[in-house]
Structure 1
Amino acid sequence: MAPYEPEQNTSESGELRAGRRKAARYVVPVAVAGVAAATIGLVPALATSGDPKLPDVTAQELIEKIAASDTEQLSGTVKISTDLGLPSFGGDMAGGFAPGGGSGGGEGEGGDGEGSAADPQAKLMELATGTHTLRVAADGPDKQKLSILDDAAEYSLIHNGDDVWAYDSKSNEAYHSKSAGRAGDSGNGSGKDSGAKDLPEDVPSTPKELAEEALKSVYDTTSVKVDGTAQVAGRDAYRLVIKPKQSGSTIGQITVAVDSETGTPLKFTLTPSGGGSAVVDAGFTKVDFGKPAASTFDFTPPKGAKVTEGDDAEAEKHGFEGGGKEFKGDKGMEGLDGLNVIGKGWSSIAELELPGGQGLPTGASGDVPPDAQNFLDSLGDKVSGDFGSGTVFKTRLINALITEDGKVYAGAVTKDALVKAANAAK
C-alpha cells in the first residue's frame, strides 16, 4: 500500500515547522477562507486508477518537494468544480458582482455598453460555482494561457510578453492590457499572468495555486501526513493530507495529490467537516510537462471583435493598486472600520464593522420589501447571545454573523464559533 507518515510529536515539531516554512510563511486560514469564497467549492472531478508503489517520503520532505518545484513548462486540461451551496455566479451575475465587471453583455449582447464581456475581473468569478473545464499552458514567466471551455463558446486569457489578452468567443469581445513586467516573477503553470494589469490576483485556478494557499496554514494548529498514493492524469502521485487540529472549523481536510517526479500538485480536494461531497475538487485530467508550441500564446482579435483597453484608473477605483496586482482592503471596503482577526489557526475569525454602525436593513424598519426580507431570512439563522442578536449567513465552508449593531464576524468556522466570538468581543 502507500507510504504513511504519522503525526509528529512535540520533539519533532520544531524540525517539521522549519521545513513547512519553506513552503509557506503565513498562517492565515481567513485568507484561505477568502480564496474559498472566491473560487472554490468543487465536486469530485477525477477518478484515480490504483495505488502506485513509490518510495516512502515524510510529510516534511513532500512539502519541501512542492516548495522546490520549478515546473515552468506544461500544458493540460483541468476540471474544477465548486459547491459552496450558493446560486450560480455564471454569466451576467458574475459580471455584476466582480470588481471591474460590467453588465456582462457588451453592446452586442444587449448590455449598456459599459465594461466588456471579456473583462477577466468578471469572467474568472464564474469559477466560484459549478463545474468547469479549463485548458492551461505555460512556458516560463512570460507566457501563460488559460481557457474556460463551454459547450458552444470559449473564453481565453493569454499572457505573452508585455501583452495580456482576454477573448470571449460568445460575444466576440476582446480585452487588452499591458503586463507590469515585474522582475522576479516565475511561471507556475497556472495559466494566469504573473504581472499583468487589471487581473484579479487572488483567483486560484489550478491545483498548484490552491495547494499553496492551503499550505499557508501548516503550523502547530494543523495535522499533516502522507496518506497513500494515487494516479492522477496518468501520473504517479503522493497524497498529502492536511487537517485542522482545532475544533470549530468547517474545513474537514485538504488532500493534495503531488506528482512524485516533479513535485507539482496535480489535484486538490477540500472536504467540509460537516460531511458530504467535496467543497473543492480541482485536478488535471491530462497533463504534459513538455514545452508548449510557441503559437499557443499568439493572439490577434478576430475581425469585427470589439476590443476594450484596460484602464488603470478604473482598476484603482475598484480597490486595486499598481494596475491590479494587489488588492487593497482599505480601498475595496471603504466605510468599513479596521479589520480585526480573532483567534489563530483554522479557527481564526475576521471581525469588522458595517458603515454607520448599523446592521442589515429589515422589513420592520420599512427599508426592505416583505418578499426581499423573507428571502434574506431564508438564507440565514437568527441567533442571540451576550452580544445581542443577529443573523448567521451560511455556506458549506464560509459563515458570517451580522449583528443588529453592525458588527460582522466571518470565517471558515461553525455558527457556534461565530456566536462565541461575538460574545467574547462584548
Structure 2
Amino acid sequence: MIESLLVANRGEIARRIIRTARRLGVRAIAVHSEADADLPFVAEADEAVCVGPANPAQSYRNTEAILAAARSTGAQAIHPGYGFLSENADFARTVEASGLIWVGPGADAISAMGDKINARNLMAAAGVPVAAGTTEPAADVAAAVAAAAQIGYPVMVKAAAGGGGMGMGVAVDEAALRTEYDKVRAFAERMFGDGSVLLERYFPRVRHVEVQILGLADGRVLALGERECSVQRRNQKLVEESPSPAVSPELRSRLLAAAVRAGEAVDYRNAGTVECLLDPTTGEFFFLEMNTRLQVEHPVTELVHGIDLVEEQLRVAAGLPPTFDPDALTVRGHAIELRVNAEDPKRFLPGPGTIKTWVEPTGEGVRVDSGYAEGNTVTPFYDSLMAKLIVHGQDRTEAIARARAAVAAFDLSGPKHNLPFFAELLENQEFLSGDYDTSIVSHLR
C-alpha cells in the first residue's frame, strides 16, 4: 500500500480522502489556500502545506506549488479528488514523470475522454450507443446550421472541452442555433481555452443515469451499478440515488455492459464514471461523457455495494487487487445523496457567509461528508458545496424516510443553504413515484 498521500484538493472531498488514508495507516498530506487555512481537512491531515492565495489558479490549480509541496513532504502519491486538476492529463503526466504515483486513470485515457467529440467517436467505435451528433467540431455557424439540419431540431450545443454542465445551450430552430453557437463558443474559449463546439440531438424529456466503473490493476474493468442523477439545476446535479428507479434488470444489464466496453476502449484504470442519457419513453440510452475521476456522488455507490471507493483507488494505484470479489458483486438496499450547497433554495444563487450553527444529523443509515464546521466561513472563491448528506435504507421508501428526518435534523445557519429545497423535494409526488426526469426542479419552482 502507498505510504504517504498528498491530497490535491480541498473541502469535503479532501477530508473524505484523508479519512480513508488515515484508516489505512497512510500518511495524509493536505495542501490548502490561504482562504482555507482554518477548514477541517487542514487540521485533520498529518501534515499541511499552504500553496497560495485564494484564487484557485494560484493555489489548487498551481501545479508547480503542488509538486513542490509533494517534494518537501516526501509524498509518494497524489490524489486529485474531483475538479481542479483531476482531469488534467498534463498534470497526471507530470506527476508520474516526477516519480510520484498518480491516483487516477492514465493520462492517455484522460486526454481521450477530455474532448467530447473524440470521446463520442471512440465510444461509437466501441459499440457504445451515442446520440445523433457531429463527429468533428462545427467550424463556424454555417457548419452548425448544416449539421443541425441533418440531426433535426431541437439540438444541444456543447463546448467540446466542457464539463460539469458548463458550456451548453439548447436551440429549437436556426435563429436560436445562431445565438447559442456564438454564446457557447465564446464561453468555451474563455473558460476552457478551446472554442470547439459540437452538436447533439436534444431530448426534451430525458433522465441522466451514470455507471460507476473501476479499472483494476490486472486490466479488468468492472461496472459497480448505476446512479440516477436527474435532479439538476442549470445542468448540475443536486440529488443522486442508486439504484435508479428507472432502470429495469434488462436495461441494467445493457447499461453496465456498455459502460464496461467504454472503459475497455481506453484501457481504463482506477475509478471513473460513464454518464448516459436515458429516454424514459423508449428505454434507449446514449453515451454522454466519461468522467475520468472520482465523482461527487460516489458515496451512494459505496453504501449499496459496501465498499470504500477511495481505498479501491489507492489499491489500484499501488498495483494491488480489490478488497472485494469482482465476480460476486452485490447490491444492498437503496442510497440517496443530497448536495448541501451555500445557495438560495429557490433561485440557487450562491450565498456564502460565516457558519453560525452547524449540527449534522446522525442515526441509522445516515452519513454526512462535510467540508465545514461551525465558525468556518464559506467564501465566494470556490464551489458552493458545503456537505453531502447521504442516507441508506433497505429500500427506496426507507431511504426517503431517513432523508426527510436527516434534512429536518440538519441545523445549519449563517450562509444561505438549500435544505428547504430538499424538504420540499422529498414530499413531491413526482420524485416519490420515481418517475421523474431532468425537468423536475423546474416543476418545483
Tell me the TM-score normalized by structure 1.
0.32
The structure with the greater share of residues assigned to strand is: 1
The structure with the greater share of residues assigned to helix is: 2
- Considering Cα pairs closer than 8 Å and 6+ residues apart, tell me whether 1 or 2 has the greater RCO: 1
Tell me the TM-score normalized by structure 2.
0.31
